[in-house]
């Protein structure tokens, strides 16, 4: 907690007020709540992210299933909704398998701590790249270098330096709500051109259960909604993190992200 800094910042105007105002006894009482109401970044909302992130980092083996609903904005601003599904098996620090199903295609991403492989079973094509990192590093590198987005990338970033807790224009507690049968605390944030909300399971397992992201970069404000189901006692074996391409599968070179 940085109460000291907080008090130091309050101190100067408070002192001025104390000196100037004859009715000094009432000043502190009115000044403090006013200050709290003005702060758009509620510390408890940031703390909730911190707690969730720390908890996520303690999970060594888990499986998640997510269903996302996203939006495309057409030329005239009309929106089309689409959905996709992913299941992910994770073993920290450095193993991951993601199976991604969209209307277009099925894809599979596997990472065993040494090699990351992207596979399209229907076409029997795969791409591999050697990579020595944690799952968080994998998510970062695939995104930055190859433009590959791992489903629910945030899950691997919360609780690390890749999800800084500064830079919020707004953060608030939005009360409680249910996601499935889980009672959740609902928080809302504003950062840059994104508004986002997260529902975190209340109690001793602060897991994110729903994530809603609204883009303010387009006036149609396209939004995605991800619902996350957790299995903290998964039965998978470590062999699943190494892809064995089916016979006749063809390897394709992975092209790094191009900038124009």
Partner 1 sequence: MTTLIRLLAVALTGVFLATLVPPAAEAAGDRRGGGGGGGAARAGGGGGAKAKPQANNTNRDARSNNVRSTSVSNVNNNVNVNKNVNVNVDADRRGCCGWDNDYHPVATAAAVTATVAVTSAVIGSIVNAPPPGCVPVSYGGIIYQQCGATWYAPQGPQFIIVTPPY
Q: How far apart are the C-alpha atoms of 121 and 70, rounded to whole Å?
A: 24
CB of 154 to partner 1, least distance (A): 5
- Establish if 36 lies at the interface with partner 1 (CB under 8 A): no
Q: CB nearer to partner 1: give 181 or 253.
A: 253
Question: Interface with partner 1 by CB under 8 A: which range of 4-12, 16-24, 169-177, 242-250?
Answer: 242-250
* Chain residues 141-200 in contact with partner 1, contact rule CB under 8 A: 143, 146-154, 157-158, 162-164, 167, 191-194, 196
**Cβ distance 126 to 120 under 8 Å?**
yes
- Establish if 122 lies at the interface with partner 1 (CB under 8 A): yes
- Establish if 43 lies at the interface with partner 1 (CB under 8 A): no
Question: Rounded to whole angstroms, what are the CA distances from 28 to 23, 34, 193?
Answer: 10, 10, 37
Question: Interface with partner 1 by CB under 8 A: which range of 1-9, 24-32, 173-181, 211-219?
Answer: 211-219
Count of residues in contact with partner 1, rule CB under 8 A: 71
Q: CB nearer to partner 1: give 14 or 73.
A: 73
* Chain residues 58-77 in contact with partner 1, contact rule CB under 8 A: 68, 70-75
CB of 113 to partner 1, least distance (A): 20
**Cβ distance 201 to 189 under 8 Å?**
no
> Token pair of 51, please?
């707690």
Please list, residue by residue across 234-260, b when 16 or more beta carbons sit within 10 angstroms of its beta carbon and e when fewer do.
eebeeeebebeeeeebeeeebeeeeee
Omega prior to 93 cis, within 30 of 0: yes
Q: How many residues does the chain have?
A: 260
- Establish if 255 lies at the interface with partner 1 (CB under 8 A): yes
Q: How far apart are the C-alpha atoms of 44 and 169, rounded to whole Å?
A: 15
Q: CB nearer to partner 1: give 10 or 129.
A: 129
- Establish if 260 lies at the interface with partner 1 (CB under 8 A): yes
């Amino acid at each position: 907690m940085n109460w000291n800094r907080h008090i130091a910042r309050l101190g100067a105007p408070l002192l001025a007020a104390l000196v100037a105002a004859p009715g000094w006894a009432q000043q502190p009482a009115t000044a403090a709540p006013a200050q709290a109401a003005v702060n758009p970044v509620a510390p408890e909302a940031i703390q909730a992210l911190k707690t969730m992130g720390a908890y996520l980092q303690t999970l060594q083996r888990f499986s998640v299933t997510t269903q996302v609903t996203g939006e495309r904005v057409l030329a005239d601003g009309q929106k089309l909704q689409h959905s996709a599904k992913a299941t992910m098996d994770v073993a920290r620090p450095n193993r991951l398998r993601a199976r991604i199903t969209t209307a277009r295609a099925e894809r599979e991403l596997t990472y065993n701590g040494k090699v990351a492989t992207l596979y399209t079973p229907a076409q029997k094509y795969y791409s591999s790249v050697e990579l020595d990192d944690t799952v968080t590093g994998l998510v970062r590198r695939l995104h930055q270098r190859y433009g590959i987005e791992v489903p629910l990338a945030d899950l691997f970033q919360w609780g690390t330096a890749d999800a800084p807790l500064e830079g919020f224009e707004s953060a608030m507690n939005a009360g409680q709500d249910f996601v499935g049968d889980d009672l959740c605390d609902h928080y809302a944030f504003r950062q840059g051109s994104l508004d986002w909300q997260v529902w975190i399971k209340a109690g001793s397992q602060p897991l994110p259960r729903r994530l809603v992201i609204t883009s303010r970069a387009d006036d149609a404000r396209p939004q995605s909604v991800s619902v996350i189901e957790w299995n903290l006692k998964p039965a998978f074996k470590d062999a699943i993190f190494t892809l064995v391409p089916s016979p006749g599968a063809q390897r394709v070179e992975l092209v790094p992200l191009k900038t124009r």
